[in-house]
Amino acid sequence: MIEQFAAIVGPANVLTGDAAAPWARDWTGNYEGLPAAVVRPASTAEVSQVLAAANAAEVPVVPVSGNTGLNGGAFARDAVVVSLDRMRAIREVRASERVAVVEAGVILSELHDAAEAEGLIFPMTFGARGSARIGGILSTNAGGSNVLRYGNTRQLVLGIEAVLADGRVLDLMTALHKDNTGPALGQLMIGAEGMLGVITGAVLKLAPQPRAYATAMVAVRDLDTALTLLNRLQDASGGAVEAFEYMPANYIARHLEVIAGARPPFDAAHETNILVELGATAARDATPGPDGTVPLAALLEETLAAAFEEGLVADAVVAQTEAQRREMWARRESAAEITFHRRPFVDTDIAVPLHAVQAFLDGIRARLAALDPDADDFVVAHLGDGNIHYTVYPGRDDPALMRAIREAIDDTAVGLGGTFSAEHGIGLSKLGAMARHKNPVALDALRAIKAALDPNDILNRGKTIPR
C-alpha cells in the first residue's frame, strides 16, 4: 500500500515511522498512537485515488484536517491517516454573492483574512482558529462564540465536495440557496466526522463585516438575570448580539493563575461574569456622532446603565479601544489552555435549554459531590445558546471514576432536555453516551447509511456510531 500511495501523491508525501509522529497525538493528549502511514494528497483527484486503493485492500482510513479535535476523532493507531493539510486553496471569494469556495485544508484564520480583504467575514470563530481547518470544522459541525447570531457551521454551508469510501466524488459544490432536488446529501457529511466520506471542498456563506463592535464585561446577580439582560440587549439592538459568554468566578481565578500577565475584569470579584459583544453593519449604528460616540456603543452603555439602576447589573466595563476589546476576548479564548493545564480531567461540551443552565450546574454538582468529594469543576459557557463546557478534575486518577463522572454529566444534561454533545462531535470519548442516549431508531438509521456508503467500514472505523 505504501508503494501505491507513493505513486499517487509522491514518495515525499507518504510518511511513516518518526515522520508520522505529528499525527500520533491529539490536541488533548488523551489519545496517542502511531499511524501506519500518513498520506498527504494535494487534490480531490488524489484523495479519490487514495481512497479507492485503500477500499480495495480494506485498509482503515482516518481523515484529518487540523487535528484540533477534542474527542479522539482523529485517533489513527495502525490506520492510514489521509491528511488534507496540502489542500489549502481558497479557490474563489465572490463578494457580490457573499460566498467563498475553499478546499478542506484551509486554516480558519486564512479564510477570515481572505473574507476581510473583501469587506466580509466568515462568521465561525473560536480559540483554535489559527490551526483548525475547514474539513474538520465541517466534519464536526463546529460551534463557536458567535453561533448566537450566525448559527453553527451547518448553517454556513451551501455546497460540499466529498470523496466516498470507494473513491467516487460527490460533487455538490453549488452556491444555490434553494435546491429542492431531494434530501440534502451534502448535509449528511457535516457532523459525520469523516465516517461517510472525506470532505475536500465547500462553498461557504460569508456575511457583512460589522462596521463597529460594542464589547463589555458585565457582572450580574445570577444566570437568570444574565438571560434577562441578553433578551433586553437583543430587543434594544434588533438582534445584534454576537456573543454572550459566561465566565464564573472560578474561571476568572484560574485565568489569573495560568495566563501570564492576565488582569481581572473588575476591581472586585463577582460570581457571574459575562462577556457581551454587539456588532453593527448599518452605517447609522456605527458612524460616530459629533461628540465621537458610536451609536452602538451608546446603546450598550444605556442598556447596561438601566439594568444597573434596576439592580440587575453589579458592575460593567465597556471596551473603549480595540486593545481593550482584544483583552476581553483573550480572557475567553484562553479557555482550552486553562482547561488542559491541570490533569487528569473529564472535559465535556453539553447543551441544555437556556432556562436550565443553572439547574444543570446545581444538579451535576450534587451528583459530583456524591461521586467524588475531592473533585473540582471548571465552567465556561456560550450562554446565549446554552452550550456549557463543563470540566471536572477528579480527586484521583481512576478511569472507572472518570467514566462515572462523564456519565453523570451526560445523564444530567439529557435529563434536562439537553444533549451530551453540542459542538465537539462524538469521536471515541462519547460512544458510550451515544449508546445510552441516542434514539435507537436514529442509531439504526445511521448504521444503515454508514453501511450503504462505506460497506467495507474503512472510514474512521469504530468512531461516532456505537457498534
Gap between the Cα atoms of 228 and 317, Å rounded: 19
Contact of 247 with 380, CB cutoff 8 Å:
yes
Confidence of residue 234 (pLDDT cuts 50, 70, 90): very high
**DSSP one-letter string for 348-361:** -BEE--GGGHHHHH
Gap between the Cα atoms of 91 and 129, Å rounded: 19
Gap between the Cα atoms of 462 and 193, Å rounded: 12
Does residue 217 sit in helix, strand or coil? strand
Gap between the Cα atoms of 39 and 29, Å rounded: 22
Flag whether pLDDT at 467 surpasses 90. no
Gap between the Cα atoms of 376 and 394, Å rounded: 7
pLDDT tens column, 390-403: 999 999 999 999 99
pLDDT tens column, 58-94: 999 999 998 888 888 999 999 999 999 999 999 999 9
pLDDT tens column, 258-291: 999 999 999 999 999 999 999 999 999 999 999 9
Contact of 66 with 111, CB cutoff 8 Å:
no
Strands (E) across 249-353 are located at 272-280, 313-318, 346-347, 350-351
Structural domains of the chain, with CATH: 2-83 (3.30.43.10), 90-208 (3.30.465.10), 212-335 (3.30.70.2190), 342-422 (3.30.70.2740)
pLDDT tens column, 334-373: 998 999 889 999 999 999 999 999 999 999 999 999 999 9
Flag whether pLDDT at 453 surpasses 90. yes
Gap between the Cα atoms of 68 and 140, Å rounded: 11
pLDDT tens column, 13-44: 999 999 999 999 887 778 899 999 999 999 99
DSSP 8-state class, residue 276: E
Whole-prediction pTM: 0.93
Contact of 200 with 163, CB cutoff 8 Å:
yes
